[in-house]
Amino acid sequence: MQYVVITFGTEGDTRPLVGVCRALMDAGHGVKLLADRSTLDTAKALGVSTLALAGDMKATVAPGGALSRLMMEGGDASLMAKAVAKIANEHTTQWLQAVLTEARAMKADAVLFSGIASYVGLAAADYLGVPAIGLGLWPISPTRDFPSPLLPPMRMPGWLNRLSHQGVNAVSWRMFRKTIQSAQRAVNSPQTPRQKAWTNYPILYGVSQHLIPRPADWSELWQICGAWSAPSAKPWRPAPALANFLKDGPAPIYIGFGSMAGFDQRTLLTTLIEAVDGRRVVFFPGWSGITAIDLPRNFCLIGATPHEQLFPLMSMVMHHGGAGTTHTAARAGVPSVVIPFAGDQFFWADRLARAGVAPPAVPHTRIHPARLKAMIAWAQRDEVRSRAQALGQAMAEEHGVQVAVELIEKYSRRGRT
């Protein structure tokens, strides 16, 4: 079968889907991945056919970008929805046209989609008359078990949890509706422009059942697969500087905040340096713009490095709580210290805390050296390390990518009968 896959976001939004794409290819299917140009290197290295979508995700998190306020100040679900809708709405018609062009060229049997490009994927599948299959990195399907991941973690009665999902999804649809309708008209869609949000379609979640047990009140269409990750294009060996650093002392702390940018770098970096108190640190600057000249000698600055191989060598992982980093750290069997910035990062921080492998998270806007030092000390406890190792062993038994391929094949066949 032939699949066109669309997403738009950071490296953490795209890389898990690359793993699914490569596995679909290994199973004999054709795949075309459409995503932000800055996130396609892994796909290209693995031989996945790609197309860069209009837009620039790096610019959206930089100062003045659509997500810059969230990076600096945090924000509620409404602010998050407005920010991501602004990104998507600027390019919706171009994205929809791109999906249709690629899908026609390859005679796609289904459209797979994720994140803020989801409505585009759904509209394209409608136009083509093929199945639409969501690929989720955090749960949007309503349930009584927990509130929407875009809301601050809180304990609520089941009916209110379910209502929170429905409310957030309704806000999201209102933010995207007019632009989707306009895009459908622009491509001469045979369907009447959509008046209500899509609801009855499969969504496969690349998350671990050990962090989110599958809710009993979910439809058969919504499935938890296990975490998705992209394989390494070639065997990994640490760069000489990193290899020497790792040999020179005990396992270091990993610190990296992925694609987060536009925040007060100087304040956060000062907090980090004081809190680690001379401990050895492997530091990945990501999109932050922090350079080696900003760092003390106990920090080893690294470039892009496969987390699956690096994290098991660390004593703990300090990160922003992105879905991909959360799962990779947990699967590595090491504790986490989470400093969330926006969106679903607070949800994942809470999930790690509930699992007993991370202290309660503190947002980057409220973190200070004394608090962070206490979080590091908590993560160093023997019982925390034991829980982290047990969680990693349990997650290693999951085969999320293979499960996703089987379910994609199942739902694609169902759509063709």
* pLDDT 10s digits, 282-313: 998 875 666 667 788 899 999 888 899 999 99
The set of residues, in sequence order, having a beta carbon less than 8 Å from that of 391 and lying 6+ positions away, is 210, 330, 333, 355, 357
Assess if residue 308 is contained within a domain. yes
Same domain, yes or no: 181 and 318: no
Domain shared by 366 and 408, yes or no: no
Give the pairing of strands 299-301 and 30-35: unpaired
pLDDT (tens digit per residue) in 13-42: 899 999 999 999 999 999 999 999 989 999
**Residue 408 and residue 344 share a domain:** no
Residue 91: phi and psi, rounded to 5, are -130, 10
64: pLDDT confidence band, cut at 50, 70 and 90?
A: low
165/40 same-domain check: yes
In a domain, 78, yes or no: yes
For residue 51, tell me if it sits in a domain: yes
- Three-state secondary structure call for residue 178: helix
pTM of the model: 0.91
User: Per the domain annotation, does 184 fall within a domain?
Assistant: yes
Looking up residue 302, the CATH number of its domain turns out to be 3.40.50.2000
For the segment 310-353, what is each residue's pLDDT rounded down to a tens digit?
999 999 999 999 999 999 999 999 999 999 988 889 999 999 99
Q: Read off the pLDDT band of 163 (50, 70, 90).
A: very high
Domain count, the chain: 2
Indicate whether 234 belongs to any domain.
Answer: no
Across the chain, what does the average pLDDT equal?
89
Please state which of the ranges 5-14, 100-109, 208-217 shows the lowest mean pLDDT: 5-14
pLDDT score at 269: 85
* Same domain flag for 16 and 99: yes
Average confidence (pLDDT) over 94-121: 96
pLDDT exceeds 50 at position 417 = no
Give me the half-sphere count of Cα atoms (radius 13 Å) on the Cβ side of residue 131. 24
Query: Of 77-91, 266-280, 343-357, 372-386, where does mean pLDDT reach its minimum?
Result: 77-91
Do 188 and 97 share a structural domain?
yes
279: three-class secondary structure by DSSP = coil
Q: State residue 287's pLDDT score.
A: 58
| 290 CB-side CA count, 13 A | 30
Report how far residue 14's alpha carbon sits from residue 25's, in angstroms, rounded to the nearest whole number.
17
Residue 4 β-bridge partners = 32, 111
Domain that includes residue 60, residue range = 2-227+398-416
Residues 371-407: tens digit of each pLDDT:
999 999 999 999 999 999 999 999 999 999 999 999 9
Examine the domain organization and report whether 44 and 141 are in the same domain: yes
Question: What's the confidence (pLDDT) of residue 353?
Answer: 97
Q: Are residues 190 and 262 in the same domain?
A: no
**306 lies in the same domain as 379:** yes
Is 314 inside any structural domain?
yes
Mean pLDDT of 166-177: 89
Q: Is residue 321 part of a domain?
A: yes
pLDDT at res. 414:
74
Residue 235 lies in a domain: no
Are 43 and 254 spatial neighbours (Cβ–Cβ below 8 Å)?
no
Task: Identify which of 154, 364, 350 has the alpha carbon closest to the alpha carbon of residue 261.
Answer: 364
* Shared domain check, 164 and 16: yes
More confident residue, 217 or 263: 217
Instruction: Determine the pLDDT at residue 151.
Output: 85
- The pLDDT, as a whole number, for residue 66 is 55
How does pLDDT run across 129-156, given as a tens digit for each residue? Answer: 999 999 999 999 999 999 999 888 888 8
Q: What pLDDT shows up at residue 82?
A: 67
Same domain, 190 and 318: no
Q: Looking at the predicted structure, is the pLDDT value of residue 226 above 70?
A: yes
Instruction: Tell me what percent of the residues of the chain surpass a pLDDT of 90.
Output: 68
3-state secondary structure of 369: helix
92 in the same domain as 133 = yes
Task: State the amino acid at position 36 in one-letter form.
Answer: D
Average pLDDT over residues 81-98: 83
